[in-house]
Amino acid sequence: MVERDPNPWRRFLALPNDSRAKTIVVAFLVSAICAALVSGATVVLRPIQSANRAAEEQARIEALVAGIPGMTALLSEAGGSLSTVVIDLGSGQAADGITPASLETALADPANWTELEPAVDPIGLGRRPDYAQVFLLRDAADQVSLMLLPLSGQGYGGRVDAILALRGDTNTIAGIAITGHSETPGLGGRIEEAAWQASFPGTELRDAGGEMRFRVARGRSSTAHEVDGITGATRTGRGVTQMVRFWLGPDGYGPLLDAIRRGEF
């Protein structure tokens, strides 16, 4: 009579390869080992992934800054670096539980958008996201000295996207970069030219009474609240005017600007 092997592992290995019990156990062990390896890799790689995301975000910020005429020199003079935060546009405060990394996912949910009535939608977008990512520079006293605000609107040929740089007084434009448009080349398409964008720095949004006065002029600017117009591109200029007025108003970044003026941000 053959003696029973007292070692259970050897008895298991001695089972035929087509044994159902052996197949199930081997599959379970392989799955458990793979799960452990994946979990371990996740733990080990998490700090590296976080560092890579931070580096990518910083590179994106630097690219945005480089696209705004005069911004690189301005930041160099001011010192420090831009930080990024997701803003709840309704409250003007940092969004609760939404980070730059999760913003895209949050905005994929229609519930995180606000429908705009025609009376408050001069740019014709139809709806506005409830959250937006902005970039802030703080001075030595930890006060906001510069902010980069994403804008979007409608020009003559379609959507116009831009980044507006605003000084810490929340009223003086430091620069603008047009990041996307569908305007006619040689006419409205000139909004992407550095020569036209150079007329923005120093322009004031509101008058002494707080009324929004910013506009793209029909020709050369003649007041502190105007930037030069583009010949033959009146509708493009009107679109940029409405875009800036909307986003810097109460339905855009207005609550954020109010919080900054009160020293609450």
- State the pLDDT at residue 253: 95
Q: What is the DSSP letter of 191?
A: G
What is the helix, strand, coil percentage profile of the chain, to 5?
40, 20, 40
Pair of tokens at residue 12: 């298991």
Q: What is the pLDDT of residues 23-35, one digit of tens each?
A: 787 788 888 888 8
Q: What is the pLDDT of residues 174-213, one digit of tens each?
A: 988 888 887 777 787 778 888 888 889 999 999 999 999 9
Q: What is the pLDDT of residues 44-98, one digit of tens each?
A: 765 565 556 555 555 655 666 665 666 666 666 656 667 889 999 999 999 999 9
Burial 41-55 (b: 16+ CB within 10 A, else e): eeeeeeeeeeeeeee
CB-based contact 133:84 (threshold 8 Å): yes
- State the pLDDT at residue 107: 93
Q: What is the pTM of this model?
A: 0.73
Say how many residues make up the chain.
265
Q: Where are the domains of the chain?
A: 1-58, 67-261
